[in-house]
């Protein structure tokens, strides 16, 4: 039986799927913590959840760094190296903007969680669940239609988040007389809306991978 060099490389080639799945599962955890953080009535519990979001953001950073390390060490990859880099970076960005929003809520002492904040947090949560579904299916590419549908739903989530953000900002400028409070709320809302943008960025990378590997 002849020696197949490609078979030798294949096992490590699969590590990227595992890392993507870890990163997307971590996003579900961080978005679940986010939703609980903006809906809890307990100030102490909110502080605990902000610390948990910070911890999970660091977990995401570690997964991203491990992916970059594997990318530089592996000769064969399951798809384009640029797409691997773009996908893990977009997943990491979601966690970064969730953490940034939570941190601003704490630093700016935002105690009133408006309906818009809650809705945007819930949309981030929905986007991360759809991302996890799409990323998990990438491993075998057996349910391409399911992956595409998840990407379409993520796009809808982002569009909905845009609408909520625009209406919330318009309401702030019309009704908030305190300029400092306006700036605080705008930055929190912007961070959450951008997290949905990053979900869409990740979905776009996945769509590109599907096209290239069709």
* Token pair 């903006």: residue: 38
Q: Give the residue-averaged pLDDT of 71-100.
A: 92
Query: Is the separation of the CB atoms in 61 and 169 below 8 Å?
Result: no
In this prediction, residue 8 carries a pLDDT of 42
Query: According to CATH, what is the number of the domain 12-212?
Result: 1.20.58.220
- Per-residue tokens: 43: 């100030």
Q: What is the pLDDT of residues 163-203, one digit of tens each?
A: 999 999 999 999 989 999 999 999 999 999 999 999 999 99
In this prediction, residue 121 carries a pLDDT of 98
Burial of 135 (0-12, 13-18, 19+ CB in 10 A): buried
- Domain spans of the chain, in order of start: 12-212
Interhelix angle 144-175/179-212, rounded to 10 degrees, is 160
Query: Is the separation of the CB atoms in 49 and 36 below 8 Å?
Result: yes
pLDDT band at 94 (very low <50, low <70, confident <90, very high): very high
- DSSP letters, 11-78, are HHHTHHHHHHHHHHHHHHHHHHHHHHHHH-S-HHHHHHHHHHHHHHHHHHHHHHHHHHHHHHH-S--S
Q: Give the residue-averaged pLDDT of 127-144.
A: 92
> How far apart, in Å, are the Cα atoms of 134 and each of 63, 83, 103?
18, 15, 29
Question: Residue 42 pLDDT > 90, yes or no?
Answer: yes
- Return the percentage of the chain with pLDDT > 70, whole number: 93
- Would the pTM of this model clear 0.95, i.e. be above it? no
Least confident of 10-24, 65-79, 107-121, 144-158: 10-24
In this prediction, residue 37 carries a pLDDT of 97
Q: Give the residue-averaged pLDDT of 133-160.
A: 93
Higher-pLDDT residue of 143, 214: 143
- In this structure, what are the phi and psi dihedrals at residue 42, rounded to the nearest 5 degrees? -95, 120
Q: Give the residue-averaged pLDDT of 27-32.
A: 98
- Per-residue tokens: 99: 């953490």
Question: Residue 204 pLDDT > 70, yes or no?
Answer: yes
Name which of 11, 6, 23 is nearest 205 in CA terms.
23
Average pLDDT value for the chain? 91
Question: Residue 7 pLDDT > 50, yes or no?
Answer: no
């Amino acid at each position: 039986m002849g020696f197949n060099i490609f078979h030798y490389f294949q096992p490590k080639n699969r590590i990227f799927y595992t890392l993507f799945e870890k990163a997307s599962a971590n996003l579900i955890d961080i978005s679940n913590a986010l939703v609980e953080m903006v809906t809890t009535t307990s100030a102490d519990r909110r502080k605990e959840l902000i610390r948990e979001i910070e911890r999970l953001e660091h977990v995401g950073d570690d997964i991203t760094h491990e992916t970059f390390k594997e990318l530089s060490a592996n000769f064969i990859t399951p798809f384009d190296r640029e797409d691997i880099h773009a996908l893990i970076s977009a997943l990491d960005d979601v966690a970064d903007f969730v953490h940034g929003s939570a941190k601003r809520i704490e630093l700016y002492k935002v105690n009133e969680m408006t309906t818009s904040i809650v809705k945007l947090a819930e949309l981030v949560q929905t986007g991360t669940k759809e991302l996890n579904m799409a990323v998990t299916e990438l491993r075998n590419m057996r349910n391409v239609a399911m992956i595409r549908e998840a990407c379409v739903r993520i796009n809808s989530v982002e569009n909905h988040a845009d609408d909520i953000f625009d209406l919330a900002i318009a309401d702030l400028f019309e009704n908030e007389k305190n300029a400092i409070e306006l700036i605080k709320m705008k930055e929190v809302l912007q961070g959450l809306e951008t997290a949905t943008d990053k979900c869409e960025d990740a979905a776009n990378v996945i769509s590109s991978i599907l096209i290239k590997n069709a």
